[in-house]
Amino acid sequence: MSPQPEFWNDPIYLKTAQYRTDENLAARQLLHQRFSVNPQNWMVWVFGMGRVEANHTLLDVGCGNGTLWEENFSVEHPAQLDVTLLDLSRGMVATAAETLANRVSSWRAIEGDVMALPLPENHFDRVFANHMLYHVPDPAKAVAELWRVLRPQGKLVAALNGTGHMRELWRLVGELLGVEPPKNSAAVFDPDTAASLFRVRFRRVTRHPFDDSLRVTDADLLWAYVLSTNALARTRTSSDRLNTIEQQFKDRVTQAIRTSGYFYIKKEVVAFVCQK
Ligand SMILES: C[S@@+](CC[C@H](N)C(=O)[O-])C[C@H]1O[C@@H](n2cnc3c(N)ncnc32)[C@H](O)[C@@H]1O
* Dihedral sign, Cα of residue 132, residue 44, residue 212, residue 194: positive
How far, in Å, CA of 248 to CA of 55, rounded? 53
Residue nearest ligand 1's atom 12 by CA: 62
Instruction: State in Å: Cα 135 to ligand 1 middle.
Output: 7
pTM of the model: 0.96
Q: Determine if ligand 1 sits within 6 Å of the CB of residue 63.
A: yes
Give mean pLDDT in consecutive 10-residue pieces for the chain, a chain of 276 residues: 66 94 97 98 98 95 98 94 98 97 95 98 98 97 98 98 97 94 92 98 98 98 95 78 94 98 98 98
Residue nearest to atom 27 of ligand 1 (CA): 64
Nearest Cα neighbor of 87 from 68, 72, 106, 73 is 68
Query: Which residues have C-beta within 8 Å of that of residue 58, sequence separation ≥ 6?
Result: 50, 52, 81, 82, 83, 84, 124, 125, 126, 127, 128
Count of CB atoms situated within 10 Å of the CB of 149: 23
On the 0-12 / 13-18 / 19+ scale of CB atoms within 10 A, 110 is middle
Are 3 and 189 in contact, with CB atoms under 8 Å apart? no
With a 6 Å cutoff on the Cβ, whether 42 touches ligand 1 is: no
Q: Does the Cβ of 185 fall within 6 Å of ligand 1? A: no
Q: Is the CB of 160 under 6 A from ligand 1?
A: no
CB of 161 within 6 A of ligand 1: the answer is: no
pLDDT value, residue 5: 57
- Probe residue for ligand 1, chosen from 6, 7, 12, 14 as the CB with the greatest number of ligand atoms within 8 Å: 14
pLDDT digits (tens, 9 = 90+) for 176-233: 999 899 889 999 999 999 999 999 999 999 999 999 999 999 999 999 999 999 888 7
pLDDT for 2: 41
Which pLDDT belongs to residue 230?
Answer: 83
Angstrom distance (rounded) from CA 135 to CA 12: 11
Q: Which atom of ligand 1 is nearest to the CA of 11?
A: 16
Q: What is the rounded CA–CA span in Å between residue 96 and residue 68?
A: 10
Q: Going from the N-terminus, what domains does the chain have, and what CATH number goes with each?
A: 5-166+185-213+268-275 (3.40.50.150)
DSSP conformation class of 187: G
CA-19 nearest atom, ligand 1? 25
135 lines ligand 1 (CB under 6 A): yes
Position 1 scores a pLDDT of: 41
Q: Where are the alpha helices (DSSP H) in the chain?
A: 5-9, 11-13, 23-35, 42-48, 67-72, 90-100, 139-149, 167-177, 191-201, 219-228, 239-260
Cβ of 114 less than 6 Å from ligand 1: yes
